[in-house]
Amino acid sequence: MKRLITVVFLLSLPVLPAGAGDFTLSSGLDYSNGKYGASQSTEIWYVPLTTKYETGASIFKLTVPWLRIRAPGGGNLIGVDAAGRPVYDGAGAKTSQEGMGDVVASYSHSLFEQPVLGVLLDLTAKAKLATADTGLGSGKNDYTALADLYYPAGAWTPFATVSYRVTGDPAGSNLKNVWGGTLGLGYKKSSENSLGLMWDRRQASTASGVASNEATAYWVHKFGGGMKLQTYAVKGFSNGSADWGLGAMFSKAFAK
């Protein structure tokens, strides 16, 4: 699924931001496997280290990832996934590359302190910087604007996201800017446990590509001391998405 966008958004649901001056450190593992229309599958292992700082209505985030891609050789860059990670075609023997991925920085602002007509709205600006080792990124910066709308209704939280990504275009690839959207429903089962489902669609990043279409189920458990564990499973329904994926993220909040 749109990996970084999804993880960042879900970690904040279905509760409001903690308090001014809160600092959170999180890490975990994201794995995806898909053919993306090619004859052989591409495997992506993604281990992000994310720092988050909340002050007032603002949230600052910085993600520094380690990345491993195992893909068929002899291929060309055919697009990028929702997190901006490269996807290649090819029919040769599989090869593996690993190292530092692209650093991602973002700033989010909550427009309302309290729901307006029952609705909360967050706006986010995000930059994926071309810091990845060779073969582990597109080599170009990407810039994304997002609007997150959610409706707290007791234990239930319907939510939606609209995004627009300005995609950096490496020589010879002709990548396009893309719109994306998400619809979801979160359920707060108790003060410790939340779960939910979300459906994501995103335009293809190349003229000959296929739009992504995938669903995600997630579960979040809060421990004491500001610790939280989130697990999720992803199922793709088009050649623009991974066939399936799994992930887990653990975070620790340090209140001011």
Closest CA to 4 of 102, 132, 135, 91: 102
Of 35-44, 76-85, 190-199, give the lowest mean pLDDT range.
76-85
- Name which of 66-70, 126-130, 168-172 the model is least confident about: 168-172
Using a pLDDT cut of 90, give the percent of the chain over it: 58
Residues 77-97, mean pLDDT to the nearest whole number: 71
- pLDDT in the model for residue 114: 86
pLDDT in tens, 37-62: 778 888 999 999 999 999 989 999 99
pLDDT confidence tier of residue 73, bands split at 50, 70 and 90: confident
Q: Which residues contact 172 (CB under 8 A, 6 or more apart)?
A: none
Structure tokens at 65: 């990832």
Rg (CA), the chain: 18
Rounded distance between C-alpha atoms, residue 232 and residue 252, angstroms: 18
Question: With DSSP H G I counted as helix, E B as strand and the rest as coil, what are the percentages for the chain, rounded to 5?
Answer: 5, 60, 40
pLDDT digits (tens, 9 = 90+) for 135-167: 788 888 999 999 999 999 989 999 999 999 998
What CATH number should be reported for the domain holding residue 143?
2.40.128.130
| Predicted model pTM | 0.85
Integer CA distances (angstroms), 66 to 1, 13, 74, 127, 168, in order = 18, 25, 24, 17, 21
Confidence band, pLDDT 50/70/90 cuts, at residue 205: confident
What is d(CA 84, CA 205) in angstroms, rounded to the nearest whole number? 10
pLDDT band at 134 (very low <50, low <70, confident <90, very high): confident
pLDDT of residue 76: 64
Contact present, 105 and 126 (Cβ < 8 Å): yes
Domain residue limits at 19:
3-254
Report the number of distinct structural domains present in the chain.
1
In this structure, what token pair is assigned to residue 245? Answer: 């994926």
Q: What is the pLDDT of residue 75?
A: 65
On the question of pLDDT at 252 being above 90, the answer is yes
Q: Which has more pLDDT, 26 or 239?
A: 26
